[in-house]
Copies of this chain bind each other. A is one copy, B any other.
Amino acid sequence: MANQKKAAGETKEAKATKAAAEASDASKFVEDLAEKDDFSQWYLDLVYKAELADESPVRGCMVIRPYGYALWENMQRAMDARIKATGHENAYFPLFIPGGFLEREAEHVEGFAPEVAVVTRAGGEELTEPLVVRPTSETVIGHLYAKWVQSYRDLPLLYNQWCNVVRWEKRTRPFLRTSEFLWQEGHTVHRTEEEAEAETLLILNDVYQDFFLKELAIPGIPGLKSESQKFPGALRTYTIESLMGDGKALQSATSHNLGQNFARSFDIQFQDADGVVKHAWTTSWGASTRMIGGLIMVHGDSSGLRMPPRVAPVQAVIVPIWRKEEERAAVAEAVGKVEAALRAAGIRVKSDWREERPGFKYNDWELRGVPVRLEIGPRDAQNGQVVLVPRTDRAAKETVSQDGVARRVQEVLETIHTTLFEQALAFRKSRTYQVSSYDEFREILADRARMGFIEAWWCGDGACEAEIKAETQATIRCLPLEHPEGAGTCVHCGRAAGVWAIFAKAY
C-alpha cells in the first residue's frame, strides 16, 4: 500500500520522467543482452518460462502450450477477419503432395526438395510414389485450380487455408524456425498480370501490414525482395521486415506474385471473353507462428514478455491480496465484481487465486506479459477501489474506482498498444542507418550494440549482393516501398545505383 500512495501522490511530470527512465532501462537490458550475446538464451527462457511452448520428442518440432496457443488463436482471428474482409474464403487442401508435383516447377523443387519430409510407407505397404509432407501448397493447389478454372467467369479464385506445414530444418528455434509450423497460405488465380500484382500488394498492405501495426504493434517495413531472396518459383516476392531487439531482422510475412509460372506448370488455363484460352496469373502469401517469435523479440524486456493488448491471451489479471483469513471474503467479493465488470466489457480477464505471495504473482504475470495488473486488497475492497498497474510502466500505477474500472482498463490497454508501438518504432529508428561508406556499413554490422537496418543505394547486381553477404553476413531484407527518389552510388561497389535497399543480419 505504501508504494501505491507514493505513486498516486506523484506529479504527472515525475511519472513521465520515471516512465521514460523505465522504458530506457528495459530497452538497455535487451541491448545489453544482445551485446553479451545472451539474447538467444533470453528468448528461449521466455518461451519456456512463460509457457508459450515446450520442446517435443521429435527433433525440431515444438509443442504450443495453451498460453501460446491462445495468443495464436487471437492472432488468427484478427488475421482471418482481414483475409475474409478482402474477399477471400477458407478451404482445406491435403497434407500430402505426390512427389512428382514439386518437380514440375524447376525453381520451386530446387528451393524445397532439400528440406522435405517424405512418407514412403503407409497402411503397411511401401508406396509406389512417395508422398511429400507439404512444405507449402502451390503445387497441389495448382493441380486443383487447373480443374476448377475453365472460364474467365470463374476468376478471380480467392482461397486461403490455415494448416500445418513441414520444412526439415537443421538448426531450429521455437516459433522462429521449426520443422513443423502453423500458418495461413493464400492462393489466388487472376485473369491478368495487373490483377495478380494488385492482389499481391493488397495482401501485403491491407492484410499483413495492417495486422502488424494494429494488432501486434510492430512497425514492420513493407518492401520487395531482391531476386536472390524471393520465393522459389515467384516472379516477385513482397515482404514485411521487422527489427528485433538485438538489431537483427525478421522476415515476418510474405506475398508472392507468381506470374504465370505455376499456371504453366499445372495447366491453369481459362477461356477469356475473347474466346482465347490463356494461362492464368496466380499469387500466394503466407504468415506463420513465426510472428509469435517476432512479437517476443520486438516487445520483450528485462521482466519478460510484453503482450500487445489486442491479441494478449489475458488482457488484465486480478491479484487478490489478503493476510488474515477474515479479510478474504471481502476481497473475494470485490474481485468477483471487478472480474464480472471486465468480462462484461469484453476484456479477457483472469483472477489469480493461487496460494502464492503477491510478489510472486506480480513477477509471474509480468513474465507472461499481461498488459494490465489489478491489485485488490482489504482496504481497496472497503473503499470500492482497485490498484491498476500497466505492464509498460510500473510507475504509472493508479487507483481506480471499481465502478469505472472496466472503462479505465480499456483506455489503458489502448495506451499500452500505442506505447509498445512507439517504443518499437523509436528503437527501429535509432537502429536504422544511412551510411556514407562500406567501412561504416561493416563497422555497424560488426557491433552488437549498434547493429540494425542499413539503408543504402545498391547497384542491383546479384554478384555484389552476394559479396556483401559473404563479407558481412548481411542480406538485402527488402527494397522498401517507400524510398528516396533518384539514384546514387552502390554502397559496396561504388557503381551507379538506382535501387534503395535495406540491409541487415537476419533470422
Contact = CB atoms under 8 A, between A and B. Distances in A.
Contact of A144 (B54, B94, B143, B166): B54
A166 B133 CA distance: 12
A315 B387 CA distance: 47
A123 B114 contact: yes
Given A117-B121, A140-B56, A61 B96 contact: yes
Interface string A157-198: 001000110101110000000011010000000000000000
B90 A63 contact: no
Contacts of A133: 95, 119, 133
A170 B124 CA distance: 11
A56 B94 contact: yes
A12 to B, nearest CB: 40
Contact of A95 (B114, B116, B147, B180): B180
Protomer copies = 2
30 contacts: A54-B144, A56-B94, A56-B144, A57-B98, A57-B143, A58-B96, A61-B96, A63-B93, A63-B94, A64-B92, A66-B90, A69-B92, A73-B90, A95-B133, A95-B164, A95-B180, A113-B124, A114-B124, A116-B122, A117-B122, A118-B119, A118-B120, A118-B122, A120-B120, A120-B121, A121-B130, A123-B168, A123-B169, A163-B164, A164-B164
Contacts of A63: 91-94, 144
Contacts of A114: 123-124
A362 interface: no
A370 to B, nearest CB: 16
A403 interface: no
A92 B123 contact: no
A463 B180 CA distance: 45
A30 to B, nearest CB: 28
Interface string A452-476: 0000000000000000000000000
A180 B94 contact: yes
B90 A69 contact: yes
A91 B117 CA distance: 23
